Amino acid sequence: MPVSLLALALSAFAIGTTEFVIMGLLPEVAGDLHVSIPSAGWLISGYALGVAIGAPVMALLTARLPRKRTLTLLMSIFIIGNILCALAYSYNLLMLARIVTALCHGAFFGIGSVVAASLVAPGRQASAVALMFTGLTLANVLGVPLGTWFGQLYGWRATFGGVAVIGVLAFMALIVSLPTNKDEKPVHLGSEISALANGKLWLSLLMTVCFAAAMFALFSYIAPLLLQVTGISNRGVSWTLFLIGAGLTVGNIIGGRLADWKVSFSLMLSFALIALFSLAFSWTSHGLWLAEITLFLWAMATFATVPGLQINVVRHGKEAPNLVSTLNIAAFNVGNALGAWVGGAVIEGGYGLTAVPVAAALLAAVGLMVCLITFRRAGGEAQPVRA
């Protein structure tokens, strides 16, 4: 694998940390800004909607720029957004800062995954994308638990300041290591948009929405669930987030290998396991060790899905890889917002925190159905994109 993939992975680490660390700091943010936990959860949904709206817009605005210049520009927006988060002194200002940060997210992951796939042979594209997304999973292994711990000690604003520093390092790594592709052809907006007239592509995007909704219905409220149901301490939440991050990392690597072999099998298996482990957690959440084991297995199943989803969408929209890959990240964050809303609605509806994993399992089951319909209508798998 090319060394330049490490710069993409470092950038993914920074972006993943700022997206997910808010979940570990939800009680601290809610208490400091004097809002309820479900209201603080809207900071997750607001970020996700910012990605969903900003991703295709940023992809189209930067369509004529070289991909290397686009990625460095997007990382600059990311740094500014995190500085604004660190300086925010009210709920509304923090929401605005999160949306600014989110503008870079979707386009960066979308275009970055296209760059990652272009650096390797067709038979290793899913593994290359998985390596880039390893930065995202390591954000959960290291960034989120350390950021949560740091925020609990020095205040949640300090965490976002630290993420801004990581963003500067990633920016420098991108400039130094990413190759300049002199043969890169300019993108024509008409052809990019016309590529969207593909029913198989939209089914694949719907699959991504269902996946993210199932994941974030549970993950968005993992801290209060662990504190109030499992009964662990704040420090225990940080260690559990570390364990979840380890499961995400392992699952991401396995998912890349499976998707290189057979995308359809990889996705159907992952959706089935997400539903199974989510449902199991509604029961195992009452016991410490059973909860930890279940969450690790849930995390493995969850991120084993990511490489296959990304490659599947690009294959069905290969005439416009930048835009469709970015749209997949937007779809992921539409599901993120939907899942966070579903979890909050379950809590506010009086069903209790243990009903949240059940709702997540139902969303995963819907995703499995969409997956089955997608590959049945597609008549098999789309062909790999040639570098």
Residue 329 and residue 109 in contact, taking contact as beta carbons nearer than 8 Å: yes
Residue type, 48: A
C-alpha to C-alpha distance for 270 and 301, rounded to whole angstroms: 5
Predicted pLDDT at 191 = 62
Q: What's phi and psi for 42, nearest 5 deg?
A: -65, -20
Predicted pLDDT at 386 = 47
Tell me the percentage of the chain whose pLDDT exceeds 70.
Answer: 91
Q: In this model, does residue 83 exceed pLDDT 70?
A: yes
Most confident of 76-80, 234-238, 304-308: 76-80
Instruction: Please give the full DSSP string across 232-300, using - where no structure is assigned.
Output: --HHHHHHHHHHHHHHHHHHHHHHHHHHHH-HHHHHHHHHHHHHHHHHHHHHHTTSHHHHHHHHHHHHH
pLDDT band at residue 224 using 50, 70 and 90 as cut-offs? confident
Looking at every residue in the chain, the average pLDDT score rounds to 85
Nearest to 314 by CA among 326, 324, 329, 327: 324
pLDDT tens figures, 335-386: 888 998 899 899 888 888 899 999 999 999 999 999 888 887 655 555 554 4
Predicted pLDDT at 214 = 94
Q: In this model, does residue 115 exceed pLDDT 80?
A: yes
Predicted pLDDT at 252 = 85
Q: What's phi and psi for 111, nearest 5 deg?
A: -70, -35
Q: CA-CA distances (angstroms) from residue 353 to 22, 218, 226, 327, 350? A: 19, 10, 10, 32, 9
Predicted pLDDT at 246 = 86
Average pLDDT estimate for 160-171: 95
Domains, the chain, ranges and CATH? 4-181+190-378 (1.20.1250.20)
Average pLDDT estimate for 257-280: 90
Residue 116 and residue 131 in contact, taking contact as beta carbons nearer than 8 Å: yes
Predicted pLDDT at 185 = 63
Instruction: Please give the full DSSP string across 115-135, using - where no structure is assigned.
Output: HHHHTS-GGGHHHHHHHHHHH
Predicted pLDDT at 186 = 60
Distance of CA 104 to the CA centre of its chain: 13
Predicted pLDDT at 381 = 57
pLDDT tens figures, 170-221: 999 999 888 876 666 666 666 667 667 777 788 889 999 999 999 989 988 8
More confident residue, 134 or 380: 134
Predicted pLDDT at 387 = 41
Average pLDDT estimate for 296-316: 86
C-alpha to C-alpha distance for 258 and 244, rounded to whole angstroms: 21
Predicted pLDDT at 329 = 81
Q: Write down the pTM of the prediction.
A: 0.74
Predicted pLDDT at 187 = 61
Mean pLDDT lowest among 15-24, 76-85, 242-251, 315-324: 315-324
Q: In this model, does residue 280 exceed pLDDT 90?
A: yes
Predicted pLDDT at 374 = 81
